[in-house]
Structure formats: structure tokens, C-alpha cells
Amino acid sequence: MSKPIKLFRHPLSGHAHRVELFLSLLNVPTELVFVDLAKGAHKSAEFLAMNPFGQVPVIDDNGVVLSDSNAILVYLAKQYDASGQWLPKDALMAAQVQRWLSVAAGQIASGPATARLITVFGAPYDAESTIARSHALLKVIEQELTNRPYLTGNLPTLADVASYTYIAHAPEGNVSLADYPQVRAWLARIETLPGFVPMQRTAVGLQSA
């Protein structure tokens, strides 16, 4: 019998949370391994041997070591999702999921994720322009969710898993979700999925109110 997948993560990393969330949604046995970012554990020789970029998350699936949250999501879908729901085989559907994985690595990372880095971790980015980028993104997502419950259609996919965490925690970075009812309803739908696990919230930004 195979051992649980080891997930090397930090509880405040949204990138790590999206992997933790997907493992839970798939009901895959998981061992959470705390990586102490504050003490530089991610820059240790041992960790760099797993991920030369020195970033969480990393998984060790019985000897298969993989880093990068979106790459890990694709691997887990291919390896553990027999239904094909999370990463559809259909060419167009697969492309639509990939589009949102790119958004997660692009506009979400440079918008809500970076806004949260400023308040939670004191990262030296410009808050005003980062918040503006976040709202430009949220307006697009709000429009896209007008006619469908999830980002690519009627069922949740990796697109939703990859996008959820930093948008749900956008208020921590002073990015209000008040003007985006479709986005808030989408977050609520994800939070009712069997196996959903939340990420620890931080009382900063709008979340401190």
C-alpha cells in the first residue's frame, strides 16, 4: 500500500493551499509537512534539492518529487482523478482550463496574491497599482461568471482550484469583493464542495475589520 503524499507547505501560502485543497477534494491521503519560511527552511540545501527555486509547495508522491503549484495540480488530476472532471480530455475544455492556470500564474499572482504579500508579509510592492490590477481582474471574472457557475462551465475544474485561494483572501490585501456578487457566489460554491478545506485567514487589510 502506498504512503500518503507528502505536501511541503506553509499554512499562509496560497500556492500551497491550492494543492492542499485539491488533494482534499480528491480525497487523497496527505501528510502536511511544515516549511518554516521565516527561518529560511525553503532555502536549505535539503529543500533546494527538491525545488531549486526554493519555493513551496513541493509534493513527494512515493518518490515522485514535483514543485510548482499548477504543475502539481495537473499531475494530481492525471494521476488521481478517474472521472476526468478536473482536467477534461476534450481539447477545448482542456484549453479553457489551461487559460485559467495561466491567469492564476499571471493576473492573479500579480494582483490579489501580490496585494496580500504586501499586508501579510510586508513585501515591498506598490499597493495602489497592485490593488488596481486586482480590480481589473475581478471585473473580468465577474463578467465571465455571469452565465456559468464555475470558471469553465457547469462543473468545477482545476481552473477553479487554481484561482480560488488568492481571490477568497483578496480582502487581506485591501482588495474588496463587495462589488462582485458573482465572484462571491462562486467562492461560496467552491466552499460547499465535499472535501473543501479553507486556508488560515490573516487579520490584516480589510480582513482586520
Q: Domains for the chain: give ranges and CATH numbers.
A: 5-80 (3.40.30.10), 91-208 (1.20.1050.10)
DSSP code, position 154 = S
The predicted pLDDT at position 1 comes to: 55
CB 88 within 8 A of CB 74: no
pLDDT at 209: 63
* Local confidence pLDDT in tens for the 209 residues of the chain: 579 999 999 999 999 999 999 999 999 999 999 998 878 778 888 888 888 888 899 999 999 999 999 999 999 999 999 999 999 999 999 999 999 999 999 999 999 999 999 999 888 999 999 999 999 999 999 999 999 999 999 999 999 999 999 999 999 999 999 999 999 999 999 999 999 999 999 888 888 76
Q: What are the grid coordinates assigned to 101, written together?
A: 492556470
In the numeric block, the cell 503549484 is attached to: 69
Q: Rounded to a whole number, what is the distance in angstroms from the first to the last CA of the chain?
A: 48
